[in-house]
Amino acid sequence: MASGNLQPKNKIIYFITLFLILGTFVSCEREANAPSGEFKVFNIPENLSNGDLVFRKGTDLISRCVLSQGESPRFSHVGVIVLSGSGVFVVHSLPGGTKSVNGVQMEPLSSFISSENASEVAFYRAVGVNKRSRADIRKYLLKQIGKPFDEKFQLSDDSRMYCSELVVKAFRNAGMNIFEKLPTIKVMLVDEPVLPPGYLCRSYHLRVIN
Amino acid sequence: MNARRKWVATVLLLSVILITGCAKSPESTVRSFYRAVEKGELTEARSYVSSQILQMLGEAKISVALSGETEKIGKCGGIKDIDVKLEGKGQVRSGIAVVTFAGQCPPSTEKVKMIKEDGKWKLTAEK
């Protein structure tokens, strides 16, 4: 044993050090295996890139008991992945709330998909998206940051953006009209047809990223 | 001010009080939603859900979802109390609803989001 030739005082220090190192490993192991309770951790694909889409479902009453019904995914929000030197971000548009900023914003992916914000998450990639279109999508999205949320849900107006509108226009700007034939819904008090976020992932031009 | 003017002013004031007083607060809308679901009154429960959600899913699917909730509440012995705490201003409110049950089930805490549609508070999905 390596401690065989050590002086008694050094032996004590050696065992204390060994104990502390082992203790650290054991406590890390415990933490990793700790029951997560109601917190859900979502897997993030390793190969995410600019222009990939991230959908989420909220954690509220209606998301749980209404949007969760049936087999098809029903997401309540969508954003677009933007890579930055400091990590992976999501550019998305939110209506202002008690805790959220109004309008187009850039948020770390880890926060976007945190268990506080999401009960379900899925990542999608457009078929045929290339380096050039990814760059165009990224550039367009960064230019939109700060625009207010479009509470009138008007696709015809670029001064305000709702979440699906931001995605559709970012891809359209990159020459990819991949959401044009999707169904829309008519919402009371809204003049134009609305494209809900959950409908975007029905596009035949999108593939799930695992 | 003559008697006729006083009368008109009183009627107007009473009308304003009645109109504002009769409009459901977002908190009472949440409570009414839960109570309607508890009783299985799905048409009423649907009326508290935002039109965007109704349009997106359709009434039939929403009714199936809500009837599942009715069953769950029934298994918990019915609702004993609903405590709603909302924050926000303007057309949006969000917060939590804590539902306690008459039976053995533990209390349920749910996030809720409300939007104002056509002057009425409706439940919607969080982004």
What pLDDT digit, counting tens, does each position of A96-151 carry? 766 678 899 999 999 999 998 999 999 999 999 999 999 999 999 999 999 999 98
Residue B71, token pair as written in the block: 């069953």
Q: Could you tell me if A97 lies within 8 Å of chain B, comparing CB atoms?
A: yes
Optimal mutation site among A54, A60, A192, interface B, most CBs of chain B within 10 A? A60
The reply to whether CATH 3.10.450.50 applies to domain B25-124 is: yes
pLDDT at site B20:
46
User: What single-letter DSSP state applies at residue B104?
Assistant: S
pLDDT at A2: 45
Q: Inter-chain contact A66–B66, Cβ cutoff 8 Å?
A: yes
On average, the pLDDT of chain A sits at: 82
Residue A31: pLDDT over 80: no
Select, from the ranges A80-84, B90-94, B123-127, the one with the highest average predicted confidence (pLDDT).
A80-84
Residue by residue, DSSP assigns A112-124 as: HTSTTT-SEEEEE
Could you give the residue ranges of the DSSP H alpha helices within A1-121? Answer: 8-33, 61-62, 109-112
Contact B57 A66 (CB under 8 A): yes
Q: What is the mean pLDDT of residues B60-86?
A: 93
pLDDT of residue B13: 57
Segment A5-13 shows an average pLDDT of: 57
Reported confidence tier of residue A29, pLDDT bands at 50, 70, 90: very low
Q: Residue B59 — pLDDT band, cuts 50, 70, 90?
A: confident
| Strand ranges inside chain A, DSSP E | 53-57, 77-84, 87-94, 103-108, 120-126, 206-208
Q: In a 3-state reduction of DSSP, which class is residue A44? A: coil
Asked if pLDDT for residue A190 goes beyond 90, the answer is no
B114 neighbors B124 (Cβ within 8 angstroms)? yes
B88 touches B113 (CB < 8 A): no
With 70 as the cut, is the pLDDT of residue A3 above it? no
DSSP helix/strand/coil, A189: coil
Please give the pLDDT value at position A208.
Answer: 95
Output the CA–CA distances (angstroms, integers) from residue A172 to A68, A133, A193, in the order listed: 30, 10, 18
Nearest CA in chain A to B57: A67
Q: Do B65 and A66 touch (CB under 8 A)?
A: yes
To the nearest 10 degrees (0 to 180), the angle between helices A163-173 and A131-144 is: 140
Predicted TM-score (pTM) of the model is 0.76
The mean per-residue pLDDT over the stretch B76-89 comes to 95
Predicted local distance difference test score (pLDDT) of residue B47: 95
* Mutation target among A55, A59, A61 for the B interface, most CBs of B within 10 A: A61
Domain ranges of chain B: 25-124
Model pLDDT for residues A62-81, shown as the tens digit of each residue:
888 878 776 666 799 999 99
Among candidates B62, B87, B112 on the partner chain, residue whose Cβ is nearest the Cβ of A66: B62
* Long-range Cβ pairs for the range A64-68 (8 Å, 24+): A64/A119, A64/B110, A65/B65, A65/B66, A65/B68, A65/B69, A66/B49, A66/B53, A66/B57, A66/B62, A66/B65, A66/B66, A66/B125, A67/A198, A67/B53, A67/B57, A67/B125, A68/A119, A68/B65
For B74, the token pair is 């029934």
Kindly indicate the confidence band of residue A198, based on its pLDDT and cuts at 50, 70 and 90.
confident
pLDDT at B58: 83
> Tokens 């190969």 map to which residue?
A47
How far, in Å, CA of B33 to CA of A63, rounded?
15
Query: Nearest CB to B118: which of A59, A74, A188?
Result: A188
For B4-29, what is each residue's pLDDT tens digit? 777 767 666 555 544 444 568 999 99
Partner-chain residue, chosen from A61, A163, A199, that has the shortest CB–CB distance to B127: A163
Nearest Cβ partner for A58 among B49, B55, B125 = B125
The yes-or-no verdict on residue A1 having pLDDT over 70 is no
HSE toward the beta carbon, residue A37, CA cutoff 13 A: 4
